[in-house]
Amino acid sequence: MRVDRREIRQAYEAVDGGLRAALASSIERARRYNEWLRPPGLTLEELEPGLTAGVKYTPVTGVGVYVPSGKGAFPSTFITLATPAVVAGVEEIIAVLPPRKDGSADPAVLVAADLLGVSQIFRANGVAGIAGLAFGTATVPRVELLVGPGNPYVTAAQIVVQSYGVRVLSFLGPTESMIIADESADPDRLALDLLNEAEHGADSAALLVTPSAAQAEEVRERLPRYLDRLPAQRREFAEAALSRYGGAIVVDTVEEAAALANQYAPEHLQIATRDPYATLGLIRNAGEILLGQHTPFSAGNYAIGVPAALPTSGFARVTSGVTVLSYLKATSVAHLTAEGLARVRPVIERLGRYEEFPAHVLAVEARGGTA
C-alpha cells in the first residue's frame, strides 16, 4: 500500500528528462509564489500605550493530500496542493493516490512528491483513501486536515469525515471557466481557451461573455477545427461540456460582463479586453483572474505558481484557492501592561456587569488600578 524507495527510483526512470524539468520548474514557481505570500511568523504592534497586539502564524501539524486519477494523471494537482504545505512548514504531508490498472502509482506524481520531500505516499482508491486518512489504519497515519479534488463519491466521503473531527480544506468540484472578452481579443485564442477547461470532463463549464455578437460568432465558427485536433476522449469531454454547461453570452457592455462574472463566481476567469487592468477593478468574485491573452488557463494550471486548486460551484464568493495561508493557523497575541489594563478596565467592568459575568469583573478589580 505504501510506496517504497524502489518504486520512486523506478519512477525517475519512467519519467523523461523534459517532464522532470517541467515538474521541477512548476514546483519552483509555486514555491516562489507561496514564499512571497507567507506572512511573518509573529507580528506585534503597540496599538495604544500599554496595549500590544498582533498575530502568530503556525502551520498545521499534518495534512492528507488526495490526488485523483479517474480521468488521467495529475501531478500538477499534487504540486499545487503540496507545495504550499511545504512552504508553510507542515511537518507531516501524506499523499494518497488511486493505483493504476497494474497496481502501480503514477510515476510523475511520485517524482513530484520526491522533489518536494514528501515521502509518505500511499496507494488507495478514493473513498478508502479518504477514510484511511481520516481515521488512520495500521499503515496510514491519521490527519486532521484533508485536501484534494475527486469524484462525487470522494466528495461525499469528505463531507462525512468532517463530523468525526477532520477538516476538509476545500470542496473542489468540476472545473469552471469564464472569459470576458471584447472585440480586441483574438477569436482563435478565445476558442482554444474555452477548450482548455472544457476538455477536463463532460461536467466542466466553459463560458465566453462578450459585448460583441460578432466576436461570439467568430469563436463559435472556430471551435470545430480545434475540437478536431483533440484525441477522441478529450474531444467527447469538450463537446459535452460546451453543449451542457458552455456557450457564449452576449451583453451590452464590459461592465455588464463583469457583473455577470461576479454573480457566477467562476473558478477560473480570464480577462481578454483592451484594458484588462481596468476590467480587473470591476471583479469581486473569482477563484483566479488571468489578465490578457498571453495568460491562458493552462499557464495558471501549470507554470505561473499561482494556486490551481480553486473554489468551484460559486464558493469563490466566500473562499479562496489553496495557498500557504490555507495551511497556517492565525492565533491572536496580546499583552497589557498595568497602564494598559487600567485604560481598558472600565470597558471590561461595564460589559461584564451587563452580561452578568461577575468573575470577569472581579478578575480586573483584583489587579487594581484605574484609568
Is 355 a domain residue?
no
Q: Are residues 148 and 241 in the same domain?
A: no
**What's the pLDDT at 71?**
66
Q: Which domain holds residue 20?
A: 5-170+323-330
Residue of 197, 199, 267, 288 marked active site = 267
Q: What is the pLDDT of residues 3-19, one digit of tens each?
A: 989 999 999 999 999 99
Residue of 197, 200, 239, 268 marked active site = 268
Q: Which residues contact 138 (CB under 8 A, 6 or more apart)?
A: none
> In total, how many domains does the chain have?
2
Q: Are residues 84 and 232 in the same domain?
A: no
Is 53 a domain residue?
yes
Q: Are residues 119 and 227 in the same domain?
A: no
Q: What is the pLDDT of residues 290-299, one digit of tens each?
A: 999 999 999 9
Is 357 a domain residue?
no
Q: Are residues 147 and 202 in the same domain?
A: no
**What's the pLDDT at 275?**
97
Q: Are residues 13 and 138 in the same domain?
A: yes
268 is annotated as an active-site residue: yes
Is 87 a domain residue?
yes
Cell numbers 480586573 label which residue? 364
**What's the pLDDT at 233?**
95
Neighbour-count burial for 97-108, b at 16+ CB within 10 Å, e otherwise? bbbeeeeebbbb
Radius of gyration over every alpha carbon of the chain, rounded to an integer in angstroms: 25
Q: Which residues contact 263 (CB under 8 A, 6 or more apart)?
A: 285
Is 363 a domain residue?
no
**What's the pLDDT at 371?**
47
Q: Are residues 43 and 135 in the same domain?
A: yes
Q: Are residues 48 and 31 in the same domain?
A: yes
Q: Are residues 160 and 266 in the same domain?
A: no
Amino acid at 131: A
Is 339 a domain residue?
no
Q: What cell does 312 get?
A: 468551484
**What's the pLDDT at 69?**
78
Q: Are residues 142 and 193 in the same domain?
A: no
Is 352 a domain residue?
no
Q: Are residues 26 and 144 in the same domain?
A: yes
Residue 136 is part of a domain; what is its CATH number? 3.40.50.1980
Q: Are residues 26 and 137 in the same domain?
A: yes
356 is annotated as an active-site residue: no
Is 365 a domain residue?
no
Positions in the chain whose pLDDT score sits under 70:
70-72, 369-371
Q: Are residues 166 and 183 in the same domain?
A: no
